[in-house]
Amino acid sequence: MSTKEEIGITVKKDENFSEWFSQVVAKARLADIRYGLQGFIVHREWGFKILRKIYELFEEEVEKNGHEPVLFPIAIPEKFFEKEKEHVEGFAPEVFWVTRAGNDDLEEPFALRPTSETAFYSMYSLWIRSWKDLPFKRYQSRICVYRYESQTRPFLRGREFLFFETHCAFRTHEEALKQVEEDMKILKKITEEKLFIPFIFFRRPKWDKFAGAQDTYAADSVMPDGRVSQIGSTHDLGQRFSKAFEVTFKDEDMKDKYVWITCFGPGIWRIMASIIAIHGDDKGLILPSSIAPYHCVIIPIYFKGKEKEVDEKAIEVQKILSEQGFSVAVDTNKEKTAGFKFNEWEMLGIPLRIEIGPKEVKDNTCVIVRRVDRNKNSVPVKNLVEEIEKELKINDKLLKKRSKRYHVITKAETFEDVKKLVGKGFIKAPFCSIDETAEKCAEKLQETTNLKVRGIPLEDEEKAKGKKCIICGKPAKYIVYLAKAY
Amino acid sequence: MSTKEEIGITVKKDENFSEWFSQVVAKARLADIRYGLQGFIVHREWGFKILRKIYELFEEEVEKNGHEPVLFPIAIPEKFFEKEKEHVEGFAPEVFWVTRAGNDDLEEPFALRPTSETAFYSMYSLWIRSWKDLPFKRYQSRICVYRYESQTRPFLRGREFLFFETHCAFRTHEEALKQVEEDMKILKKITEEKLFIPFIFFRRPKWDKFAGAQDTYAADSVMPDGRVSQIGSTHDLGQRFSKAFEVTFKDEDMKDKYVWITCFGPGIWRIMASIIAIHGDDKGLILPSSIAPYHCVIIPIYFKGKEKEVDEKAIEVQKILSEQGFSVAVDTNKEKTAGFKFNEWEMLGIPLRIEIGPKEVKDNTCVIVRRVDRNKNSVPVKNLVEEIEKELKINDKLLKKRSKRYHVITKAETFEDVKKLVGKGFIKAPFCSIDETAEKCAEKLQETTNLKVRGIPLEDEEKAKGKKCIICGKPAKYIVYLAKAY
C-alpha cells in the first residue's frame, strides 16, 4: 500500500458502482485480476482472510447440523458425468476437460468439477447400505469449481470460483424436504444475522432450476446497482440421482430402496460480493465484526519525543483486548502519517479504530472511532473492554440498518409498469405460472427487458387471484418476483 | 462401521506392512481408493479431520513466522510454465493439460499446477516494487496439486494430492538462507515435536534437487518397511525464478535488483502416511493428542436397568472435560457391545478411552485407558481433569519413545556391506561427492540396489577423510546417507 495509485478510491459508489467495486477489490487487496487467464483470479491476503472467516461460519453451522467433512477429487470421470441426463445437458457446455498428461493423450479424459453431485453419489452408492446409515450428511468446503463462463467478474462470476457444498441422503422425501428447510435456516442465520445481507428465498421456476434437481430454492440479494445476485441455493434432487447412481439402502422391512437426496451450496463468492457491495462506502470496505480479520486497529498518534510512551500504551491496550478475545492490530509504522493510516485501515473495513496519542496516555484514555458512521468516543482504559464490546455491537447494528437501503421491492400490474421499474431491485408482478408452461412468457420478458423471473418467495407467497400475466394476459397463478440478475 | 468386512485389521503390521497400511486407510475411514480414476482418492471423514488439524498446525506456525495467506489459481498458463528452463524440463512429463471446454478447443491450454512457483512469481513481479516490500512472505494451504504419476498409493503418491506451500522473496541471499533455516525449524517443531515423527534433514545431491532450485533441503523419515519417505522440503531458488519472471525491487540505493526466493512445502500427505505407519499398531491408528479429532472417547458400560444413570454420568463427564478445552466423544449406541466399541475407537486412534459403568457411577470414578499401551487407571471424577491431562502427556510420551524404533541408521564402508543393509533404513557410506560429478555413481548404485543417495545431513555432516567412494573407489568427499525411498 505504498505507492500513489494504490491510495484511495477515485469514484463515488453511488455514481459508478461498477468501477467502485473493481477499485475496492484491488485496493483492499481482496483479489488481483491480472493473472493472465480470463476468469482465474488470485485471492489476495485481505480477501483470503475474510473468505476464510466466511467458510468457518458455514463449517461450524453445517457440522452442528450433523454434516461430516470430506474432500472429493476435482476430477469427474466422463462416465459419472453422463449418468444423469438433465445434469449433463445442463453442465456440458461449461465444463473444462483434461485430455492430456505429459506426452500422453488420456484414454479417459476427465472434467474439472463444475459441481460435485456425480462424484459424491458415485461413492454414496458404496457407502450407504442400510436405513441405519441414514440420514447420511456430508460436506466439502474451501474448494474451487470450474465453469467455462464467457463474462467473468471477481466474486460474481469466474471460470474458477470458491465453493462449499453439502450432500445429504434420506430415507423419505419428507426428511429430505426438512433438510432443505434446515439449509435455508443455516443460510439465513449466517448471511442475514451475522453478515447483514438482506435476501429473499425463492422457489425457482421449473425452467431455472439446478440441472438434475426436482426443485431449486435460491436466495437473491439486491446489489447497489439494482440487479440481484444469487447468494445460495438448496436443491431437492428427489430420487433422480439416486436412481442414476444406484444409491440404495436396505430399509427396516428388508427391501432395497432409493435414497432421497438434497444438496446445498451457499455462494461463498457471491456472499463476499454482497459484503463488499452492500456495506462498503466511498472509503472502501466495511466489515461485520463476525468476519473482520481484526475487530479493531490501534493507531498511535505520534508527537516528537513521545513516540515511545504512545507505542507502549498501544501495546498495553492491545494486550488487554487480546486477552478478552478481541483481535487487534497495531500500526506502529513511523513513516506514514496518522491520517494516511486512517485511510488505509478504513479501506480495509476494520469495524473500530482506536487512537492513542500523548493526551490519551496522560489521561489513560482511548479514542474509539466507529467505521460505519465515524462516531468518535473517548473512553477510560479501565472501561475499554466493555466499550469495545458496545461499540462493535453499535457498528454492526448500524451496518444492519443501512444494509436494507438497496433491498427495494416494487409492484407492477402490467408489462408497461414493469418496464419502468427495470433495474431497481425486485418487481412483484402477476405471472401465468412458474411451471414449464410459462417458460415462453419468461423468455419473452427476458428478451425485451433483461428481467428474469426469480420465482415465488417462500415466506410470503401471494395469490394472484383475478390478476393477469403481464406477458400473455392469461389468468395469473402467482405473483412472482422479477429482477435483472448477475 | 456396521458390517463384518469393516471390522478389525486382518493382518499383522510387522508381517505385512503394505496390506496393513491399506486396511488402516480404508477401515479407519481415512480415504477411499474406489473413486474409479487412478491416483484420485476420496478423503473420508476421519482422515479429513486429522488432515485439517495438520494443516492448522502449519498455518499457525507460518503465520507466526510472518507469512500471509493467499490463494492462487489451479491453472498454470503454458507461457508461465515455460519461463524457467529447468523447471519446465523437470515437470513437463508429469503435467495434466486442460485443452477443451464445452465444445471449444482452448486457444491457450493450461496446466493443472504440479506446484505453484510460476504462478506466484508472475504475480510477485507485479506486487514487489521496493526494498520496503521485502521480505515478502506468502503461503497457500489446503490445496491440491496434480502430477501424472504411474504408481500411486494413498498418502504416499497421487495424481492429485494435498499441498501446502510458502513462497518468500528477500533482498539478499543471506536472508533467503535464513528463511530456509526457519522453514526447517517449523517442520521440526510440528513434525518432530508435536507429531513425533523422527526424521533427518538432508542437503539433497545436485541431481536430486527440485527442478529450478539452486539447493534443496529435504526431510526423510524411515517407514516400518525400512524405506524412507520425504516428508517436506525447502528450496533455495537463488535468483533463477526472479530472473525468469522479472521479480525486481528498487533497493535503498535506487538500483533495480532481483529478489532472492525460497519456497517451502511440508508434505501433508507424507506426514499423514508417517503418522499412520509409524504410530499405528495391529488394532489400527494411534494419534498424537495434537491432531486427534477427539482427545478421549467415553464408552458407557451398560447393564440392564442401569443405562440411564450411566449415560447421565457420561454426559456429565463430557461436560466437565469439554469446559476445560478437551474434545470428547461419547458413544451411547445401544446396539453394539462395549467390546465392539472399544475396537472401533481403537481403530480410530483416539488417545484415551474413558469407561463408565454402574460401579463407576456408584463410586464417582472413571476408568481411563491409554491407547498406546492399554494401561488402565481408575480415578475419582473430582481429579479427572488433571488425570486426563497427565494421561494424554504419558500417551504422547510413549508414542514419541516408540516412534524411534524404525529410525535405523547403519554404517557401511564398502559396496558389499551396503548390499547387505538394503531396505533397513538409512545406510551411511562414503561417496565421492554430491555434485553433478557423482551422478553416475548414484545411477549405478540405484540400478543395482534400488538405493538412492539422500544427501548429507545438515546437523551431523561427517567428513570422509581417507575413505573411498563405495562405487567408483575414488577418494570420498562425504559420508552420505543411502536408502530405498517411497
- Please provide the DSSP assignment of A133-159 as one string: G-SEEEEEEEEEEE---SS-BTTTB-S
Local structure of A278: helix, strand or coil:
helix
pLDDT computed for residue A6 by the predictor: 55
pLDDT computed for residue A465 by the predictor: 84
pLDDT computed for residue A1 by the predictor: 42
Of the candidates B3, B94, B132, which has its C-beta nearest A129's C-beta?
B3
Q: Do A42 and B123 touch (CB under 8 A)?
A: yes
State pLDDT tens for residues A349-380.
999 999 999 999 999 999 999 999 999 999 99
Parallel, antiparallel, or unpaired for β B426-431 and B452-457?
unpaired
Residues of chain B neighbouring A42 (CB-CB closer than 8 A): 70-73, 119, 123
pLDDT computed for residue B458 by the predictor: 86
Q: Are residues B128 and B180 in the same domain?
A: yes
Lowest mean pLDDT among A5-14, B214-223, B326-335: A5-14
Residues 6+ apart with CB under 8 A from B129: A2, A3, B249, B250
Instruction: Please give the average per-residue pLDDT across B39-52, as a whole number.
Output: 98
For the record, the C-alpha cell of B293 comes out as 479429532
Q: Are residues B136 and B185 in the same domain?
A: yes
Q: Are B387 and B320 spatial neighbours (Cβ–Cβ below 8 Å)? A: no
**Residue found under cell 462493535:** A392
Q: Do B148 and A101 touch (CB under 8 A)?
A: yes
Phi, psi of B162 (to 5 degrees): -70, 145
Instruction: Please give the average per-residue pLDDT across B141-155, as a whole number.
Output: 97
Question: Burial, B56: exposed, middle or buried (Cβ in 10 Å; 0-12, 13-18, 19+)?
Answer: middle
Q: Does residue B463 surpass a pLDDT of 80?
A: no
Q: Do A69 and B45 touch (CB under 8 A)?
A: yes
Q: Are residues A391 and A476 in the same domain?
A: no
Using only the alpha carbons of chain B, give its radius of gyration. Answer: 25
Please give the residue range of the domain that contains residue B424. 409-483
Among B318, B296, B319, B300, CA closest to B308: B300
Local structure of A411: helix, strand or coil:
strand
pLDDT computed for residue B82 by the predictor: 84
Q: Does residue A433 surpass a pLDDT of 50?
A: yes
Q: Are B212 and B117 spatial neighbours (Cβ–Cβ below 8 Å)? A: yes
> Is B70 a domain residue?
yes
Q: Are residues B400 and B422 in the same domain?
A: no
Parallel, antiparallel, or unpaired for β B328-330 and B215-222?
unpaired
Residues of chain B neighbouring A149 (CB-CB closer than 8 A): none
Query: How many CB pairs lie under 8 A apart between chains A and B?
Result: 148
Q: Are B203 and B453 spatial neighbours (Cβ–Cβ below 8 Å)? A: no
For the record, the C-alpha cell of B83 comes out as 519461463
> Is B270 a domain residue?
yes
Q: Which residue has the higher pLDDT, A171 or B88?
A: A171
**Residue found under cell 517442520:** B187
Instruction: Please give the average per-residue pLDDT across B215-231, as a whole number.
Output: 97
- Residue A319 CA to residue B102 CA, distance in Å, equals 55
Question: Burial, B224: exposed, middle or buried (Cβ in 10 Å; 0-12, 13-18, 19+)?
Answer: middle
Q: Are residues B20 and B116 in the same domain?
A: yes
Helix (H) or strand (E) holding B244: helix B240-244
Q: Do B2 and A44 touch (CB under 8 A)?
A: no
State pLDDT tens for residues B308-348.
999 999 999 999 999 999 999 999 999 999 999 999 999 99
Q: Does residue A460 surpass a pLDDT of 70?
A: no
pLDDT computed for residue B3 by the predictor: 47
Q: What angle do the packed helices A173-187 and A45-64 form, to 10 degrees?
A: 140
The domain total for chain A is 3
Which of the residues B4, B46, B51, B100 would you substitute to probe the A interface, choosing the one with the greatest number of A C-beta atoms within 10 Å?
A: B100
- The mean of the pLDDT values for chain B is 95
For the record, the C-alpha cell of A163 comes out as 465453493
Of the candidates A43, A80, A129, which has its C-beta nearest B70's C-beta?
A43
Instruction: Please give the average per-residue pLDDT across A384-401, as a whole number.
Output: 98
pLDDT computed for residue B461 by the predictor: 66
Q: Are residues B413 and B341 in the same domain?
A: no
Q: Does residue A5 surpass a pLDDT of 80?
A: no
pLDDT computed for residue B1 by the predictor: 41
Among A55, A45, A34, A120, CA closest to A81: A120
Q: How confident is the model at residue B110 (pLDDT cuts 50, 70, 90)?
A: very high
Instruction: Please give the average per-residue pLDDT across A387-416, as a whole number.
Output: 97
Q: Does residue A463 surpass a pLDDT of 80?
A: no
Q: What angle do the packed helices B307-323 and B384-403 form, to 10 degrees?
A: 70
Q: Does residue B2 surpass a pLDDT of 60?
A: no
pLDDT computed for residue B343 by the predictor: 96
Q: Are B287 and B49 spatial neighbours (Cβ–Cβ below 8 Å)? A: no
Phi, psi of B249 (to 5 degrees): -140, 150
Calculate how close chain A gets to B382, using CA atoms only, in Å.
28
> Is A291 a domain residue?
no
Select from A404, A435, A458 the last residue of a domain.
Answer: A404
| CATH number of B344's domain | 3.40.50.800
- The mean of the pLDDT values for chain A is 95
Q: Do A73 and B35 touch (CB under 8 A)?
A: yes
Q: Are B245 and B259 spatial neighbours (Cβ–Cβ below 8 Å)? A: no
Among B339, B327, B355, B366, CA closest to B283: B339
pLDDT computed for residue A407 by the predictor: 97
pLDDT computed for residue A2 by the predictor: 44
Which of the residues A88, A98, A103, A129 would you substitute to probe the B interface, choosing the one with the greatest number of B C-beta atoms within 10 Å?
A: A98
> Is B285 a domain residue?
no
Name the residue of chain A whose CA is nearest to B43's CA. Answer: A71
> Is B435 a domain residue?
yes
Q: How many of the other CB atoms lie within 10 Å of CB of A367? A: 17
- Residue A10 CA to residue A246 CA, distance in Å, equals 57
Question: How wide is the angle at C-alpha B439 spanned by C-alphas B435 and B443, nearest 5°?
Answer: 155
- Residue A66 CA to residue A434 CA, distance in Å, equals 33
Q: Do A96 and B97 touch (CB under 8 A)?
A: no
Q: Does residue B248 surpass a pLDDT of 50?
A: yes
> Is B286 a domain residue?
no
Select from B383, B404, B425 the last residue of a domain.
Answer: B404
Q: Are residues A370 and A478 in the same domain?
A: no
Residues 6+ apart with CB under 8 A from A203: A215, A216, A217, A434, A455, A456, A458
State pLDDT tens for residues A36-48.
999 999 999 999 9
Q: Are residues B263 and B139 in the same domain?
A: yes
For the record, the C-alpha cell of B246 comes out as 522479472
Name the residue of chain B whose CA is nearest to A42's CA. Answer: B72
Q: Are residues A382 and A468 in the same domain?
A: no
> Is B289 a domain residue?
no
Lowest mean pLDDT among A243-257, B13-27, B73-87: B73-87
Calculate how close chain A gets to B369, using CA atoms only, in Å.
27
pTM to 2 decimals? 0.97
Q: Do B42 and A73 touch (CB under 8 A)?
A: yes
State pLDDT tens for residues B391-421.
999 999 999 999 999 999 999 999 999 999 9
For the record, the C-alpha cell of A332 comes out as 506502529
Instruction: Please give the average per-residue pLDDT across A301-327, as a whole number.
Output: 96
Local structure of B169: helix, strand or coil:
strand
State pLDDT tens for residues A229-268.
999 999 999 999 999 999 999 999 999 999 999 999 999 9
Helix (H) or strand (E) holding B22: helix B17-27
Q: Are residues A66 and A193 in the same domain?
A: yes
Instruction: Please give the average per-residue pLDDT across A337-349, as a whole number.
Output: 96
What share of chain A in percent tops pLDDT 90?
A: 93
Local structure of B277: helix, strand or coil:
helix
Q: What angle do the packed helices A384-403 and A307-323 form, to 10 degrees?
A: 70
pLDDT computed for residue A84 by the predictor: 85
Calculate how close chain B gets to A229, using CA atoms only, in Å.
24
Name the residue of chain B whose CA is nearest to A148's CA. Answer: B101
Among A179, A278, A290, CA closest to A236: A179
Q: Are residues B238 and B142 in the same domain?
A: yes
> Is A286 a domain residue?
no
Residues of chain B neighbouring A130 (CB-CB closer than 8 A): 2
- Residue A87 CA to residue A94 CA, distance in Å, equals 12
Q: Are residues A141 and A217 in the same domain?
A: yes
Q: Do A69 and B49 touch (CB under 8 A)?
A: yes
Parallel, antiparallel, or unpaired for β A104-112 and A96-101?
antiparallel
Of the candidates A2, A40, A132, which has its C-beta nearest B73's C-beta?
A40
Calculate how close chain A gets to B77, using CA atoms only, in Å.
7
Q: Do B123 and A35 touch (CB under 8 A)?
A: yes
Phi, psi of B69 (to 5 degrees): -80, 145
ipTM of the predicted assembly exceeds 0.85: yes
Calculate how close chain A gets to B50, using CA atoms only, in Å.
11
Parallel, antiparallel, or unpaired for β B426-431 and A352-356?
unpaired
Question: Burial, B16: exposed, middle or buried (Cβ in 10 Å; 0-12, 13-18, 19+)?
Answer: middle
| CATH number of A453's domain | 3.30.110.30
Which of the residues A6, A33, A42, A62 would you substitute to probe the B interface, choosing the one with the greatest number of B C-beta atoms within 10 Å?
A: A42
Residues of chain B neighbouring A100 (CB-CB closer than 8 A): 96-97, 99, 109
Select from A362, A381, A404 the last residue of a domain.
Answer: A404
State pLDDT tens for residues A170-195.
999 999 999 999 999 999 999 999 99
Q: Find the length of chain B.
A: 486
Of the candidates A75, A98, A138, which has its C-beta nearest B97's C-beta?
A98
- Residue A314 CA to residue A295 CA, distance in Å, equals 15
For the record, the C-alpha cell of A23 comes out as 477499485
Q: Do A138 and B45 touch (CB under 8 A)?
A: yes
